[in-house]
């Protein structure tokens, strides 16, 4: 079993359901805003609107990125579907650019699929 590189800043699951709004893994070095961000803004909004995975290898080059921490350099957002509807998103940020290669993107998509399968049953 391959270990995932320890380059991730934090991991969020944003949900449209009544499960915890988010959780994080890893060291959180920024304050989270209390404001709700509309679905037409940011990388999470782009993934929600398109229903596609969004990978930004260098967030400083993408105008959609909403900075929560100056330490974040790379981000992947994977929509999570349950019963053919957007139910949540898996949002992972890294302190290093170009963190999420194709193999790691497939791993993150697999994790999102597991969460989607769980939500289908709930």
On whether residue 47 sits in a domain, the answer given is: yes
Residue 57 has pLDDT above 80, yes or no: yes
On whether residue 3 sits in a domain, the answer given is: no
Question: pLDDT per residue over 69-91, tens digit each?
Answer: 888 899 999 999 989 999 888 88
Q: How many folded domains does the chain comprise?
A: 1
DSSP-based three-state secondary structure for 33: coil
Strands 74-82 and 85-94 turn out to be antiparallel
On whether residue 2 sits in a domain, the answer given is: no
Strands 54-56 and 8-15 turn out to be unpaired
Is residue 54 within 8 Å of 47, Cβ to Cβ?
yes
Task: State mean pLDDT over 36-40.
Answer: 71
CATH of the domain at 77: 3.30.450.40
Query: pTM value?
Result: 0.77
pLDDT of residue 15: 53
Domain of 89 in residue numbering reads as 8-121
pLDDT of residue 119: 87
């Amino acid at each position: 079993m391959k270990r995932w590189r320890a380059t991730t800043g934090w991991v969020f699951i944003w949900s449209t359901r009544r499960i915890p709004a988010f959780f994080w893994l890893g060291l959180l070095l920024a304050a989270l805003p209390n404001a709700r961000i509309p679905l037409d803004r940011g990388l999470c909004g782009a993934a929600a609107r398109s229903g596609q995975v969004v990978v930004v290898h260098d967030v400083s080059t993408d105008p959609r990125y909403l900075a929560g921490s100056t330490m974040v350099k790379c981000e992947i957002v994977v929509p999570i579907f349950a019963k053919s509807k957007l139910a949540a998103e898996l949002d992972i940020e890294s302190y290093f650019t170009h963190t999420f290669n194709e193999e790691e993107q497939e791993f993150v998509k697999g994790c999102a699929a597991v969460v989607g399968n769980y939500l289908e049953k709930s």
